[in-house]
Structure 1
Amino acid sequence: MTYSWKRRLDNGSTPELSDWGMSSETDLLEKVLVGPIDHYSWLGGNSTSRRHLKNGEPYDINVAKVQYQEMLDAYRQADIEVHFLQARPEQPYGVFARDNSVMTPWGPIACQMYSPWRRSEWLTVAEFYQAHDVPFYDVVTAGTFEGGDFMLVEPGVAICGCSGERTSEAGVNQVKSWFEKEGWEFEIVPFDPHFLHLDVQFILVAERLAAVCTAVVPDSLLKWLKAKQFDIIDVPYKEAMELGCNIMALGKERVLLPKESLSLKQQCLARGLTVLDPDISMITKGGGGVHCMCQPLKRSRS
C-alpha cells in the first residue's frame, strides 16, 4: 500500500485516526514520541542557551543523559508508552521532538524548521511515522512552522504562536486554513522572537487550567483565556525563561515538570494535581524543557 503524505481532505471532514491522534493537550496521554539525547549540545539559537554560553557555564553530556533517563522513568511510571526518534549526529537539537511534527486528530503534520541545523529533522520524523504506518495529515509548505508554538486547547479549538521566525505568518496561516476547513476555531498569538516559542510563556496544565507568564504574553491572550474560562497560574518571568513554564500535561490530573519549576509545582500541588518533577537542568539550559522533548502520539478523552 502506498504511504500517504496527505490524508487531509481539501474541503474538511477528514476522518479521525483511531490508534493515533489527539484533540486536546490535557487528555490522557497514552503514547509519546521522544527525541534522542545522544548528540545534544547547547547551541546559540535562542536567548536561554546564549545566556548560559555567554556565562561560560560548562555543558556535560553525561549529566544530560542521566537527567534524560530520569524523565523517561517518569513517563514509564505514569504507564505511558514511549517511542523514540533515531539519533543522528547532524541533528544536535533532535532531542526536541515537539518541533518537527505536531499531532492532530487526523494524523501528524510535518513542520518546516527555522534553524538551519534543524531542517533535516523532518526526514527523521517521517521515517518514524512511515515505519509505524501513521499517515501524515499534511505537510507545511508555506513559510516556517514549529510545534513549540502549537497547541490543541480542546476539541474544536487550537492555538498557535507566531513570532515571525520559528513560526512565520505564512506557515501559521496555512495550518489555520486547514483547521478552519475542519470546523475548528484557530487562535493566533503574536509575540517577540526573544521568547523562542509560545510554550516558553504559556502552557496547558489540565482541563481549564493554564500556566502563563502574564508579565510578557499579549493582553489579547489573557483576554482569550478568560473568555474560555481558564484558571491561570502566573509563572514569574525568570522561571519562564529557564523553561519553568515548559511542562507536560499527562491527563488524569497529573503533570510532568522540571524540578526547578518551583512556583508552578507549588501551585499544581495546591490544586490537587499529582506532580512528577525530574531534574533536567543540564538540558533546559540549551533552550528546551520537558514539553519541547516530547510529541504526543495518542491521547484519549479520560
Structure 2
Amino acid sequence: MNLRINSEYGTLKAVLMHRPGREIDRLTPYNKDFLLFEDVPYLEALQQEHDVFSNLIKSSTGATVYQLRELLIRVLYDREILLKLVKDSLKRSGLVHLAEEILERYSTAECAAILTSGLKVHELRRKYPNLDAGELLEYAFLITPCPNLYFQRDPMALTPSGIIFSSMKMEGRQREADLLRTIFENHPDFKELIHPIYPSNGQQNPPSIEGGDVIVLSHEAVAIGNSERTDEKAIYQVAKALLAEGTVKRVYEVHLPEKRNYMHLDTVFTILDENLVLTYPDAMNAVLKTSCYTLKEIQDDKVHIRREVLKESLLTVLEREISHLEVLATADGNPDYSMREQWFDGANVFAIGPRRVISYNRNIHTNRALRNMGVEVLEIPSSELSRGLGGPRCMTMPLSRARV
C-alpha cells in the first residue's frame, strides 16, 4: 500500500471508515445547524446501517476496512500527541488550561471518544468537582462533537501523486481533518508511506479544500471542484504540487454553483469504470466554467503553471479524458425521480471495482438504470445514513485500489 490511487474504480484493497458514535446523539433540533448537520438521526439504527455497509465491503471485495477510532487510540498512546489534540480542541471554549486535568482523569480510549463526541461541562465536573468553567453553563460544550465524522471522504484525498490533507471550510469540521492528519503522520502502519502534497510544509491557515471535491479522472488528470467548500487558491496550490510531481499532467478546476445539493464535485458525477460515469444532469448543466492547469516550467526549484479557461462543457472535458465515454443520468434522466434521488445522493455511489458499486437502496430508479447498463449494484439500507445528506462515496476513504 503506497497511499496513492490512480483511479476511482480499481478493485478496492483498503478503505478507511468511521462507525458513527455518541457524537450523533449530541445532535438536537436546536444545535444541528451549528454542528453542520441536516437532521437528528437515530444512532442505533444508523450504526446498524453502517455496519451493514462496512461488512458488505469486506464480504464483496475482501478489502481491509480500517476504523478511525481504532487508529486514533493507537496514536493517542503518545501523550504528547494526545495533549496537543486536546489543547487544540479546547481553544474554542477558551479553556485550554484544562487539557492536563482531562488527561489525568480519562483513559486513552475515553480521550479518543471525547475528541470525536465532545465533552460537556457537567460531564467533566463528575470527575473534577472543583472545575472552574468560567461563564459556561453546565450543559455547554467544552469540546464540541464531530457528527459529520462518518463522512470520511472529506478530511483528506488520495491522488496519483500523494495525499491532500484537507483544510476544512467550516470551523466545525476542521478538527476532523486534524484527527486524520495526526493519524497518518504518526500511526506506524502509515507514517512511512505518506507523501503529502498539500498543504505545504509549515503553511499556516491554508486555503480550504475538501476531499469530496477531488476526483481522479485518469492516470494523468485530476478534477477539483471549486465549490462552497473548496477555494480557488487551494486548487491552484494543489495543481502546482500535482504537476510538479510529474505523474499528473492536467488538473481541471470545475466551478460549481453555490447550492447545498452541489456541495462537492462528487455530488455532480462519479466514475464507475474506465468509460462509464454516473451524473446528476441538473448539476452537470449548471457547470458554466471549467479551467485547466498544466505545467509551464520548473526553474530554480520554482514551479510555474499555466491556467486556461476552457470554452467547453464539463461533459466535453470528460469525453476528452475518458475514451468512449458512456454517461448515465440519475434515475435514467427522469426529472422527477432524478431530483428526488439526488437529494439522497443518487450520483454518489461507491465504486468497489470496475462496474461494481454500493448504492443506497432507496434510490431504486438510479439502481435500476445502473443494472441496465451492466453494473453490479449492491444495496445498503439508508433510512438513517441518508439523513446526513451524504452517499456511500462520502462515507469512505479508499487507501488502496488495484492499479488499472
Task: Return closer, same or farther for 1:137/1:283 CA change in 2, 3 Å cut-off.
Answer: same
Q: 1:146 aligns with which of 194, 210, 214?
A: 210
Deviation at 1:45, TM superposition (A): 7.3
1:60–1:282 contact (8 Å) kept in structure 2: yes
- Alignment partner, residue 155 of structure 2: 100
Give 1 or 2 for the bigger CA radius of gyration: 2
1:46–1:196 contact (8 Å) kept in structure 2: no
Deviation at 1:241, TM superposition (A): 2.0
Query: After superposition, where does 1:70-89 map in structure 2 within 5 Å?
Result: 70-78=52-60, 79-86=62-69, 88-89=116-117
Inter-partner Cα distance in structure 2 for 1:108 and 1:36:
23
2:214–2:265 contact (8 Å) kept in structure 1: yes
| 2:269 is the alignment partner of 1:202 | yes
- Alignment partner, residue 131 of structure 2: none
- Alignment partner, residue 296 of structure 2: none
Deviation at 1:104, TM superposition (A): 2.1
Deviation at 1:119, TM superposition (A): 0.6
2:224–2:253 contact (8 Å) kept in structure 1: yes
Inter-partner Cα distance in structure 2 for 1:25 and 1:63:
29
| 2:189 is the alignment partner of 1:109 | no
Q: 1:63 aligns with which of 42, 45, 55?
A: 45
- Alignment partner, residue 364 of structure 2: 262
Structure 1 unmatched ranges of 5 or more: 1-17
Deviation at 1:107, TM superposition (A): 3.2
Inter-partner Cα distance in structure 2 for 1:225 and 1:46:
35
Inter-partner Cα distance in structure 2 for 1:106 and 1:299:
14
The amino acid across from 2:278 in the alignment is A
Higher helix content, 1 or 2: 2
- Alignment partner, residue 297 of structure 1: 399
Q: TM-score of the superposition, structure 1-length normalised?
A: 0.85
More deviation, 94-103/182-191: 182-191
The amino acid across from 1:222 in the alignment is L
Inter-partner Cα distance in structure 1 for 2:146 and 2:154:
13
Inter-partner Cα distance in structure 2 for 1:170 and 1:19:
28
Task: Return closer, same or farther for 1:166/1:64 CA change in 2, 3 Å cut-off.
Answer: same
Deviation at 1:63, TM superposition (A): 1.0
The amino acid across from 2:319 in the alignment is K
1:244–1:260 contact (8 Å) kept in structure 2: no
- Alignment partner, residue 176 of structure 1: 239
Deviation at 1:261, TM superposition (A): 1.9
1:46–1:287 contact (8 Å) kept in structure 2: no
| 2:219 is the alignment partner of 1:155 | yes
Query: What is the aligned-residue RMSD (CA, Å)?
Result: 2.1
Deviation at 1:274, TM superposition (A): 1.6
- Alignment partner, residue 12 of structure 1: none
Deviation at 1:251, TM superposition (A): 1.1
- Alignment partner, residue 135 of structure 1: 194
Inter-partner Cα distance in structure 2 for 1:45 and 1:154:
38
Aligned length: 277
Inter-partner Cα distance in structure 2 for 1:286 and 1:153:
27
| 2:81 is the alignment partner of 1:22 | no
| 2:223 is the alignment partner of 1:223 | no
Inter-partner Cα distance in structure 2 for 1:29 and 1:102:
15
Q: Secondary structure at the match of 1:224?
A: helix
Q: TM-score of the superposition, structure 2-length normalised?
A: 0.64
2:12–2:401 contact (8 Å) kept in structure 1: yes
Deviation string for 1:232-268 (max 9, x for gaps)?
1111232112111111111143111111122221122
Inter-partner Cα distance in structure 1 for 2:325 and 2:33:
35
2:357–2:376 contact (8 Å) kept in structure 1: yes
| 2:285 is the alignment partner of 1:192 | no
- Alignment partner, residue 4 of structure 1: none
- Alignment partner, residue 44 of structure 1: 33
Identity, % of aligned positions: 22
Structure 2 unmatched ranges of 5 or more: 70-112, 118-144, 289-312, 331-337
